[in-house]
């Protein structure tokens, strides 16, 4: 079992560490124990990520970076890593005492070899050595980079702390805490601050106590900083082990072999993390919680069964990376509403329009491959509309399997909504410009905060035109409707879906009115955040919203249609799943089987009260 510690804080580092870990896991052959020192943001993201990643023979422990802050906050520091960089100095005070040795990594390194080879260097430490480091590969500590450059003291070129072998129990014995503090305080008498965070202090200590350091071969930390001399290292050694993107320019750094290094890094950036769920040889029974049961359940599926793909998709545990991009949660407000929706790559172009129509918080689940997640990142960076919106939380659910797991995606987005209310929408709908304000006002007026269980219905319309002038008001909408440029949603194909909304009553309505559930009803609704989840058995096309609305009705939510609310569906090509539904009788049979199971579950949970849903379904079928 090898131990690895990483300090990780914030959204960007939480993405970086995933790529680092992919590269480590790709080459490793041993069980690993990860010790992650995180802020609240990174912990939230990485707990979900590792729980859903289910990598065998990987244990993850979290430590609260807050606890370490007081230990290092007295040190003035100019490095971009801030306080978090300095925390590597005080790891011995937070890691368990039982932990004798640990490899400490920065999030901006990429492995191209098995980490056990690095671990093996502990075996070469002399009795006195407590820290293994690679020499610094720029002239920084020589102090000749530019005029008046006065770096901290260092032994020769100094050492880089992106990759550290730390012999923890020996550090304790040598009184490490006293040693580095004394050195730091003394240097700070003449230096205003650390420039390179922990690295300056490590180097100052080593300058004084050279016996503490075990120098590592340079290939274990090939530094791609701006003035790097790394070339000298690997031209001789030929075999790269760890690459360190230690320029603030990261992948954009210019360098003789930049393309080569970039391609190594991009390999893991786009690598399908699911493939790392493989079990290393020779260490069986290292399954993470749930993984073994899952494997057994999957193994019991009959591949010849016609609905095999459905069964498999339902069982699939997708890796989930919540809040993939920088995000500022909305301030708590009693009537606030988050728009909840899900999408895949082919709907990215909806996001800008959606942002223009909905100025409030959003929680969106994106179903992407690892490579697509990077394209998505680029897309948001490039968009002036999206890049400034910090109240939109994007949750990446990684693709796995042939059917779109629509309800699993909705549940991820729903679980991450932080306001008391959610507007459960679909990505192809644009809400009325006023909807966000109107919903908050309505929630307040209707006093939904109390014990009243209500689902506010937002009537749905559709346009068949690509270019179309969005109505500014209900009056304008009605005019367009009468002119035939707008229709009630799916009026031609599936009027049952929204029949209960009673569009003709809505035309005249001045106040919210209550409507009754009827078969196939699937309105877009605003409900409290703690509403029932979507039924994850519905994958692909069909019945995914219908089942949720039945659930709301069974739990006695009132359906209240809002007289001024509306949202409009924009045209798009039929999805792959709807095409399969239409063309494949097997697909339709499987959906039918799911519906029947759903009704059985419903009557188990709600008894005879659930009978009405089955009867309604049968009635509507006999009429059709």
Question: Three-state SS for 343?
Answer: strand
93 binds a copy of itself (CB under 8 A): no
The least CB distance from residue 493 to a copy of itself, in Å, is: 6
Q: Which stretch binds a copy of itself (CB under 8 A): 103-111, 201-209, 464-472, 512-520?
A: 464-472
The least CB distance from residue 371 to a copy of itself, in Å, is: 6
Give 192 or 296: the residue with its C-beta nearer to a copy of itself: 296
x/- site string to a copy of itself, residues 554 to 573, per CB under 8 A? ----------------xxxx
- Burial class for 173, CB neighbours closer than 10 Å (0-12, 13-18, 19+): exposed
238 binds a copy of itself (CB under 8 A): yes
Rounded Cα gap, residues 439 and 333, in angstroms: 13
Determine which residue in the list 84, 220, 245, 271 makes contact with a copy of itself, applying CB under 8 A: 271
Question: Three-state SS for 511?
Answer: coil
Determine which residue in the list 73, 93, 263, 333 makes contact with a copy of itself, applying CB under 8 A: 263
Total site size for a copy of itself, rule CB under 8 A: 52
Strand ranges, E, within 115-210 = 131-135, 159-167
304 binds a copy of itself (CB under 8 A): no
Strand order in the sheet with 567-569: 429-431, 567-569, 460-463, 486-488
Contacts of 489 (CB under 8 A, 6+ apart): 460, 461, 462, 497, 498, 569
275 binds a copy of itself (CB under 8 A): yes
Is the Cβ–Cβ distance between 417 and 529 less than 8 Å?
A: yes
Rounded Cα gap, residues 298 and 404, in angstroms: 18
x/- site string to a copy of itself, residues 415 to 454, per CB under 8 A? -------------x--------------------------
Rounded Cα gap, residues 498 and 561, in angstroms: 11
Q: Which stretch binds a copy of itself (CB under 8 A): 222-230, 243-251, 347-355, 498-506?
A: 347-355
465 binds a copy of itself (CB under 8 A): yes
466 binds a copy of itself (CB under 8 A): yes
How far CA 614 is from CA of 391, 573, 609, 618, in Å, comes to: 41, 32, 10, 6
257 binds a copy of itself (CB under 8 A): yes
Determine which residue in the list 127, 304, 493, 530 makes contact with a copy of itself, applying CB under 8 A: 493
Going by the DSSP 8-state scheme, the letter that residue 114 receives in this structure is -
x/- site string to a copy of itself, residues 351 to 390, per CB under 8 A? -x----------------x-x---x--x------x-----
The least CB distance from residue 575 to a copy of itself, in Å, is: 7
Contacts of 228 (CB under 8 A, 6+ apart): 137, 138, 255
The least CB distance from residue 228 to a copy of itself, in Å, is: 15
Rounded Cα gap, residues 133 and 144, in angstroms: 22
Residues of this chain, 279-298, that bind a copy of itself according to CB under 8 A? 279, 281-282
1 binds a copy of itself (CB under 8 A): no
Q: How far is CA 234 from the centre of its chain?
A: 35
178 binds a copy of itself (CB under 8 A): no
- Burial class for 282, CB neighbours closer than 10 Å (0-12, 13-18, 19+): exposed
The encoded tokens of residue 153 equal 């003291």
The footprint of a copy of itself (CB under 8 A) covers 29, 234-235, 238-239, 257, 259-260, 263-264, 266-267, 270-272, 275-279, 281-282, 345-350, 352, 369, 371, 375, 378, 385, 402, 428, 464-467, 492-493, 570-576, 579-580, 583
């Amino acid at each position: 079992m090898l131990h690895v510690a990483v300090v990780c804080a914030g959204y960007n580092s939480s993405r970086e560490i995933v790529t680092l870990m992919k590269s480590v896991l790709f080459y490793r052959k041993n069980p690993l124990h990860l010790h992650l020192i995180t802020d609240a943001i990174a912990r939230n993201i990485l707990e979900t990520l590792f729980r859903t990643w289910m990598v065998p023979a990987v244990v993850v422990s979290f430590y609260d970076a807050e606890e370490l802050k007081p230990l290092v906050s007295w040190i003035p520091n100019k490095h971009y890593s801030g306080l978090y960089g300095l925390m590597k100095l005080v790891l011995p005070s937070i890691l368990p005492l039982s932990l004798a040795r640990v490899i400490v990594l920065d999030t901006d390194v990429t492995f191209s070899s098995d980490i056990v080879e690095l671990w093996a260097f502990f075996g070469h430490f002399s009795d006195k050595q407590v820290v293994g480091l690679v020499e610094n590969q720029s002239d920084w500590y020589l102090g000749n980079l530019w005029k008046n450059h006065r770096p901290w003291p260092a032994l020769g070129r100094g050492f880089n702390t992106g990759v550290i072998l730390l012999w923890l129990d020996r550090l304790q014995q040598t009184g490490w805490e006293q040693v580095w503090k004394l050195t730091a305080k003394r240097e700070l008498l003449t230096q205003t601050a650390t420039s390179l965070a922990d690295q300056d202090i490590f180097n100052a200590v080593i300058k004084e106590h050279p016996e503490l350091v075990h120098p590592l071969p340079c290939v274990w930390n090939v530094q791609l900083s701006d003035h790097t001399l790394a070339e000298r290292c690997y031209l001789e050694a030929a075999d790269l082990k760890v690459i360190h993107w230690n320029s603030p320019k990261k992948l954009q750094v210019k360098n003789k072999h930049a393309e080569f290094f970039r391609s190594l890094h991009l390999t893991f950036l786009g690598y399908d993390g699911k493939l790392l769920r493989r079990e290393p040889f020779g260490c069986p029974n290292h399954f993470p919680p749930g993984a073994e049961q899952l494997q057994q359940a999957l193994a019991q599926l009959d591949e010849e069964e016609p609905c095999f793909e459905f069964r498999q998709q339902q069982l699939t545990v997708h890796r989930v990376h919540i809040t993939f991009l920088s995000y500022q949660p909305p301030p708590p407000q009693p009537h606030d509403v988050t728009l909840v929706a899900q999408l895949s790559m082919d709907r990215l172009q909806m996001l800008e329009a959606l942002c223009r129509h909905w100025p409030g918080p959003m929680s969106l689940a994106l179903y992407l491959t690892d490579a697509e997640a990077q394209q998505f990142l680029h897309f948001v960076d490039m968009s002036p509309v999206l890049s400034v919106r910090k109240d939109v939380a994007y949750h990446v659910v990684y693709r796995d399997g042939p059917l779109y797991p629509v309800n699993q995606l909705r549940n991820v987005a729903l679980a991450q909504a932080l306001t008391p209310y959610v507007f459960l929408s679909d990505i192809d709908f644009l809400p009325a410009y006023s909807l966000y304000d109107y919903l908050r006002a309505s929630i307040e007026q209707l006093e939904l905060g109390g014990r009243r269980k209500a689902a506010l219905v937002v009537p749905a319309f559709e346009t068949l035109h690509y270019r179309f002038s969005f109505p500014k008001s209900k009056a304008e909408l009605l005019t367009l409707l009468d002119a035939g440029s707008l229709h009630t949603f799916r009026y031609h194909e599936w009027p049952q879906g929204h029949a209960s909304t009673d569009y003709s009553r809505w035309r005249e309505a001045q106040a919210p009115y209550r409507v009754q559930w009827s078969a196939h009803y699937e309105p877009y609704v605003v409900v409290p955040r703690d509403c029932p989840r979507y039924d994850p058995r519905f994958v692909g096309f069909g019945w995914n919203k219908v089942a949720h609305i039945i659930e709301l009705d069974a739990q006695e939510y009132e359906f209240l249609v809002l007289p001024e609310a509306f949202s409009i569906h924009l045209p798009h090509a039929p999805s792959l799943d709807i095409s399969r539904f239409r063309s494949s009788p097997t697909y339709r049979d499987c959906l039918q089987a799911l519906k029947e199971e759903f009704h059985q579950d419903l009557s188990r949970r709600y008894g005879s009260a659930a009978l009405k849903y089955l009867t309604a379904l049968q009635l509507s079928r006999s009429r059709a």
